[in-house]
């Protein structure tokens, strides 16, 4: 493996966790955060209590300078989806040259193409890949065995080499050319995780969760296929894999949001419990429904989550779902 300089745009838990993993694999990693104060804190303390108990690798550093970040051969954007385009347009687009560009943001966008890779490609006039999969930041940072999928514009030798560069003995990365399917899956699983959290709050048991995840996977697969993606993507790491993790894992922000929706009774108070972190599913729900409408698809679980986020009572939403006729399984 050839050591690379990797720049990561975004210093949330995922950006730092991924940066630690890459640095432990022998790469030089520099992570951007807009706050000079946070840069000093992280560079001086050399640790992050929520992500990894050990000190940061020596090859990991932080900077508030876009120029320093973009002076890298590989760039990974790890910003929340709602701010990705604005941050890139303001601070980074003019510095794009010959870097390999990857985004690792799980969400859909409104007002245009919902796919972040397409919007970033249009903004920068360069191709973008998408790195996703069933991963919690702290487990990746602690080098617990994990698997991800890298969706690329085309299956070429250069992208195969990129997969090898980013992989390690603890992080297995697979390749696909299904950029649309992986991005839909990465957004839909967050919506379904909110629903899973609602089941937690209502104490509806394991049978209900199994039904939710199975029928949710069916919704995901139909939308992926209708939008031009591959059905097998929904059954892989970006789809079923990430759905399993996010709907059952104790660290899932989207699952927590659903649980807190039941406890607090409203979205505003539920969001407060996330302590400033972002549950991407709440933003993806309406966009996913609009995308489904363009393909003449029904997505009852996604629609139910939209009702919950809009203030409908969980018991009422469950009654609506359970009143739907059950036909052929598909």
- Residue 324 phi/psi, 5-degree rounding, is -65, 140
Task: Give pTM, 2 decimals.
Answer: 0.94
* SS3 at position 189: helix
CA–CA distance, 62 with 80 (Å, rounded to integer):
18
User: 146-151 and 128-132: which strand pairing?
Assistant: antiparallel
Does residue 227 contact residue 113 with C-beta atoms inside 8 Å? no
**Is domain 5-177 given the CATH code 3.40.50.800 in the classification?**
no
Q: In the annotation, is 169 catalytic? A: no
Q: Please tell me which residue in 40, 169, 189, 272 is annotated as part of the active site.
A: 189
State pLDDT tens for residues 107-117: 899 888 999 99
The DSSP code sequence of 150-187 is EE-SS--HHHHHHHHHH--SSEEEEEES-HHHHHHHHH
Q: Encode 143-171: b = buried (16+ Cβ within 10 Å), e = exposed.
A: beebebbbbbeeeeeebeebbebbbbeeb
Predicted confidence at residue 1, as pLDDT, reads 55
Architecture of domain 180-323: Orthogonal Bundle (1.10)
Distance from first CA to last CA of the chain, Å, rounded?
44
pLDDT(196) > 60? yes
Predicted confidence at residue 132, as pLDDT, reads 97
Tokens of 283: 């933003």
Q: Where are the domains of the chain?
A: 5-177, 180-323
State pLDDT tens for residues 263-290: 999 999 999 999 888 888 999 999 999 9
């Amino acid at each position: 493996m050839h050591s690379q300089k990797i720049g990561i745009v975004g210093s949330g838990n995922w950006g730092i966790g991924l940066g630690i993993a890459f640095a432990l694999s022998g790469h030089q990693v520099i992570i951007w955060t807009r706050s000079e104060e946070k840069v000093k804190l992280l560079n001086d303390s050399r640790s992050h209590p929520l992500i990894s108990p050990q000190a940061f690798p020596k090859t990991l550093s932080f900077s508030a300078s876009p120029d320093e970040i973009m002076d890298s051969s590989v760039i990974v954007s790890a910003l929340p989806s709602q701010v990705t385009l604005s941050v890139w347009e303001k601070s980074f687009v003019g510095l794009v040259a010959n870097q390999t560009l990857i985004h690792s943001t799980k969400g859909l966008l409104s007002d245009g193409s919902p796919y972040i890779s397409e919007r970033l490609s249009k903004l920068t006039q360069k191709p973008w890949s998408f790195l996703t999969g069933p991963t919690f930041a702290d487990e990746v940072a602690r080098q617990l065995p994990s698997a991800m999928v890298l969706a690329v514009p085309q299956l070429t030798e250069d992208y195969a080499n990129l997969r090898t560069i980013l992989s390690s003995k603890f992080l297995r990365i697979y390749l696909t050319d299904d950029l649309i399917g992986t991005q839909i899956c990465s957004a839909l699983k967050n919506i379904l995780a909110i629903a899973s959290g609602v089941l937690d709050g209502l104490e509806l048991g394991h049978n209900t969760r199994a039904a939710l995840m199975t029928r949710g996977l069916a919704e995901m697969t139909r939308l992926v296929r209708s939008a031009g993606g591959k059905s097998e993507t929904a059954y892989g790491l970006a789809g079923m894999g990430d759905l399993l993790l996010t709907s059952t894992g104790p660290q899932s922000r989207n699952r927590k949001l659903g649980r807190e929706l039941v406890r607090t009774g409203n979205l505003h108070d539920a969001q407060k419990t996330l302590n400033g972190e972002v549950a991407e599913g709440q933003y993806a729900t309406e966009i996913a429904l609009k995308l489904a409408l363009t393909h003449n698809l029904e997505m009852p679980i996604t629609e139910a989550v939209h009702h919950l986020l809009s203030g409908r009572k969980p018991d009422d939403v469950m009654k609506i779902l359970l009143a739907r006729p059950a036909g052929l399984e598909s």
